[in-house]
A and B are shown apart, each in its own frame.
Chain A
Amino acid sequence: MGKKSLRNKKNNKSGGESYSSSDFPFLWSFKNKLFNSGLFLAGITVILIVAGIFVSLIIASLPSIKEFGIDFLFSTKWNPVIEKFGALPFLVGTLLTSFLALAICIPFSLAISILLGEYFTEGWFASLVKTLTELLAGIPSVIYGFWGMFFLVPVVRYLENVIGVQPYGIGIFTSSLILAIMIIPYSASLGRDVIEMVPSEYKEAAYSLGATRFEVIKKIILPYSRSGIFAGIILALGRAVGETMAVTMLIGNSNKMPDSIFSPGNTMASVIANEFNESTFELYTSSLIEIGAVLFIVTIVINLVGKYIIKKFEVET
């Protein structure tokens, strides 16, 4: 009875209708069924699309899988002229840029999460920082690429001159910097949400026992929200792994194993974007598609590992 009247109340409030569908049980159940099957269909579609993408990637990369086998993943040679293809430089490039970007991004996004989730939960400053952080996610990656080329590259080149490595300016480190900026909003906004959700009873209890603010953050807030924070980090990592345009513009597109984080390299997404258009023979095309399949698998593995850790981190309340 209570539920029903609540529904009626809501309907009256929002729509101003004189009667609601709940007055006609048959209609209500029909609508319900329609809604349920709609949801079910959407779910099935997602499964079909993901499975379809994976299967078609594997089928299209069969020629390359047959030719190179498992060596494809461990060979550092990528030479279209002699038709030898190995994906290791790109695999390493992708993982190196993504994890480096993550390492750079974590302190900043964590700080922003705590700032917005604990210190400034409302007011103009909070909304300013929040809006700007979210704005970062909306900037097209080609603009990050341009900005990186004209601003970040000279800065990194200066830095490289100071520490005495070959001053290219572009390379893995520069790409990681730009990626870090690009992925901050993903981890920061999720982190802020979970930090805000920490029950105030716990915090107040800690304060009443004489804990300082830092101790509350360290002992109550972070442990409580760590699984959510980590989920944000995984989301950010997924984004970094697949990023193409900005990385292509800044990484130097050298299809060799990088010697250091300052040397030019290439990523899986970037080499596909660069070379797919003019891949003139079958083995070349299918090798590029196999890289796509590897990228797909890497993304899945990261997500699965992430899920596992998130589960482990969950606080039992």
Chain B
Amino acid sequence: MKKLLILILSLALAVMMFSCGSNKKGDSKAQKSSQGGTKLTAAGASFPYPLYDKMFKNYSQQNDIQINYRPIGSGGGIRQIKNKIVDFAGTDAFIKDKQMKNVDGNILHIPTCIGAVVVSYNVDIGNASLKLTSDVLADIFLGNITKWNDPAIKKINPKADLPDQEITVVHRADGSGTTFIFSDYLSKVSNEWRTKVGAGKSLSWPVGLGGKANAGVAGLIKQQPGSIGYVEYIYAKQNNLPVSVIQNKSGNYVSPSVKSCSKAAEIDIPKDTRVTITNTDAPQGYPITSFTWLVLYKEQNYGSNTLKKTQAKLDLLWWMIHDGQKYTKQLDYAPLPENAIKRAEKILKSVTFDGKKVLEK
């Protein structure tokens, strides 16, 4: 009994000493950074996190700045920017006018890259990729088409040997920007989808099974013979999942790639970039794509914010939409096309501190 007590006490002591030691370390580090560079905190979408992480690491090597981005999800990011906890936030879905109403101040959206959602499947149709039109895709996810050898699928895949097999729809179970992009596309192309289901991060799905995160959906697709589901393009690419080729608005069958996703954004973008680019007019664009944004306040004089910090923040964002774009392709993100960069530049220039413009470029 005594031995046990001694053991516990010494353990507690060790833990205390250890934590003290590490505390000291952290303190000195924090001091160092507060003396020199700026510290920015951000939070939000997890989808672009690998890209942001790489960008921030490279940027802070060249500049005296510390950037801490926590991938807690778009919803959490928006909540934190609303409460002014973070310097900027990341989101996969732009903030709607309705949500903007109860925000204290004006929030600006800066697109940083383009993501895409692909349709993956588990059915043996030979070597060719499965071709899908928007109508067929909507009908499958609505539960109107239930067999793989349905005439509608056969018609667009004449060469494929489609089996007489039930289709199992797989979707995301957790609220997700990926679901938003996918359902936004289906709402644009199908009246029935728009009225029955609609677009959102979580939906009331007419049919199917739900998997948690991209990995959960991909796992279910792999396991369920005859299944079809949607995942992020990058996830599908890095895991070599079969992806279907989808007919876009111009009638071209486009397979998802970094290039065809970038192309999708080569359309007329509104000045505030708050637009969904699904079902794009671009003839070679892949139809299920979306910007991902960083959001910040237009008027930066709030809380303990300083002009110096605002300057550093804007310099970082400027770098991200220009030099930083070179990191997109190596991580399988689609870079912003020229027209989107032009819009983003204008928005960054409009940021003010105490009513005065900050960025002089």
- Give me the interface of A with B, judged by CB distance under 8 Å: 14-15, 77-82, 149, 153-154, 166-170, 248-249, 252-256, 264, 266, 274-275, 277-281
Q: Closest chain A residue to B2 by CB distance?
A: A15
Residues of A within 8 A of B224 (CB): 168-169
B78 touches A252 (CB 8 A): no
* Interchain CB contact (< 8 A) of B209 among A14, A78, A254, A278: A254
Given A254-B209, A278-B176, 9 extra CB contacts under 8 A: A80-B200, A80-B201, A149-B223, A169-B224, A253-B209, A264-B210, A266-B210, A277-B75, A278-B174
For the complex formed, measure the closest distance between the CB of B311 and the CB atoms of chain A, giving whole angstroms. Answer: 31
Residues of B within 8 A of A170 (CB): 209, 220
A248, B74: Cα distance in complex, Å: 22
**CB-CB under 8 A for A274 and B204, given A82-B198, A253-B210:** no
Residues of B within 8 A of A149 (CB): 219, 223
B203 touches A79 (CB 8 A): yes
Residues of A within 8 A of B175 (CB): 80, 274-275, 277-280
For window 187-211 of chain B, which residues contact chain A by CB distance below 8 Å? 197-205, 208-211
* Interchain CB contact (< 8 A) of A249 among B72, B73, B168, B216: B216
A254, B175: Cα distance in complex, Å: 13
A274 touches B173 (CB 8 A): yes
A248 touches B220 (CB 8 A): no
For the complex formed, measure the closest distance between the CB of A252 and the CB atoms of chain B, giving whole angstroms. Answer: 4
For the complex formed, measure the closest distance between the CB of A79 and the CB atoms of chain B, giving whole angstroms. Answer: 4
For window 159-202 of chain B, which residues contact chain A by CB distance below 8 Å? 166, 168, 173-176, 197-202
Q: What are 27 A-B contacts with C-beta separation under 8 Å?
A: A77-B204, A78-B204, A80-B200, A80-B201, A80-B202, A80-B204, A81-B198, A149-B219, A153-B223, A170-B209, A248-B212, A252-B209, A253-B210, A254-B208, A254-B209, A254-B210, A255-B210, A264-B209, A266-B173, A274-B210, A274-B212, A275-B175, A275-B202, A277-B76, A277-B175, A279-B175, A281-B99
Residues of A within 8 A of B6 (CB): none
Residues of A within 8 A of B205 (CB): 254-256
For the complex formed, measure the closest distance between the CB of B31 and the CB atoms of chain A, giving whole angstroms. Answer: 34
B198 touches A169 (CB 8 A): no
Residues of B within 8 A of A280 (CB): 74-75, 78, 99, 175, 201
- Most-contacted residue by chain A among B73, B74, B199, B220 (CB, 10 A): B220
A252 touches B1 (CB 8 A): no
A136, B175: Cα distance in complex, Å: 32
Residues of B within 8 A of A256 (CB): 205
A264, B224: Cα distance in complex, Å: 13
For the complex formed, measure the closest distance between the CB of B203 and the CB atoms of chain A, giving whole angstroms. Answer: 6
A248, B215: Cα distance in complex, Å: 13
Of all A-B residue pairs in the complex, the 3 with the closest CB atoms, nearest first, are A278-B175, A253-B210, A253-B173
* Interchain CB contact (< 8 A) of A279 among B1, B75, B198, B203: B75
Q: Closest chain A residue to B213 by CB distance?
A: A274
A205, B219: Cα distance in complex, Å: 59
Residues of A within 8 A of B166 (CB): 166-167
